[in-house]
Amino acid sequence: MRTTKRALALTALVAANALALPACKTDSENQMLGASIGAIAGAFAGREIAGKKNRTGGTIIGAVIGGVAGYAIAGGFGSKATPEEQAKPEFQQANKEFDAGVAAKTAGDEQAAMAHYTEASRLAPEQPEPYNNQGLIYLENGDRVNAEASFRKALTVDPEFEPAKTNLQKMGLTA
């Protein structure tokens, strides 16, 4: 319980510092800032929650999850999509599926989250976020092979997608 309280306190401290930073000028800057802050907060929280026996693993997984969460909050699904792409009914449904996946994952239902991410990627295969989030679920469950494949699929779709690059680097792989 004490460890959890410390992790939450560290996360709150990082988030409070983020609010004090000046606003970024572009979506890309916002996403990178969100990913960075999320990764730092997640690393601290993961390290504390994992305990002494698995601090390194907890730090890595916490950083990856926090980084992606920060990126998603700052940029969201399809942040690089054009207004024309965003206006398509398939894109809008994919966005709903992606959000449902995030909600399911938050609620602890990884199977439903994977189904929603799969549907989002079917509807909007040019968006990297669903592939990346699937990779995170695989990684959390110790499936490094499928995690890597999902992160690489996100990079195939968008070679500049920083969360997938970061996730591969956190796994000790090159992007």
Q: Give pLDDT, residue 123.
A: 97
Q: What percent of the chain has pLDDT over 70?
A: 60
- Distance separating alpha carbons of residues 44 and 15, to the nearest angstrom: 12
* CB of 45 closer than 8 Å to CB of 78: no
Query: Model-level pTM greater than 0.75?
Result: no
Give the residue from 24, 69, 19 showing the smallest Cα distance to 43. Answer: 69
Range with top average pLDDT, 4-13, 75-84, 124-133: 124-133
Cα(92)–Cα(100) distance, integer angstroms: 12
CB neighbour burial string for 37-53, b if at least 16 within 10 angstroms, e if fewer: bbbbbbbbbbbbbbeee
Write down the pLDDT at residue 70.
Answer: 60
- Residue 51 CA to residue 37 CA, distance in Å, equals 22
Would you state the pLDDT for residue 68? 59
Domain made up of 80-175: CATH architecture: Alpha Horseshoe (1.25)
Q: What is the rounded distance in angstroms from the CA atom of residue 56 to the CA atom of residue 64?
A: 12
**13-27, 71-85, 109-123 — most confident range:** 109-123
Helix%, strand%, coil% for the chain, nearest 5: 80, 0, 20
Please determine, for residue 18, whether its predicted confidence score (pLDDT) is greater than 60. no
Domain segments of the chain as ranges: 1-75, 80-175
Q: Which of 109, 39, 89 is nearest to 69 (CA)?
A: 39
Q: Each residue of 28-64: pLDDT tens digit? A: 555 555 656 666 666 666 666 666 677 677 667 766 6
Q: Check if the beta carbon of residue 63 is closer than 8 Å to that of residue 42.
A: yes
Distance CA 133, CA 157 (A): 14
Tell me the per-residue pLDDT of 58-92, one tens digit each, with 9 for 90 and over: 667 766 666 656 655 545 788 788 889 999 999 99
pLDDT at 14 > cutoff 60:
no
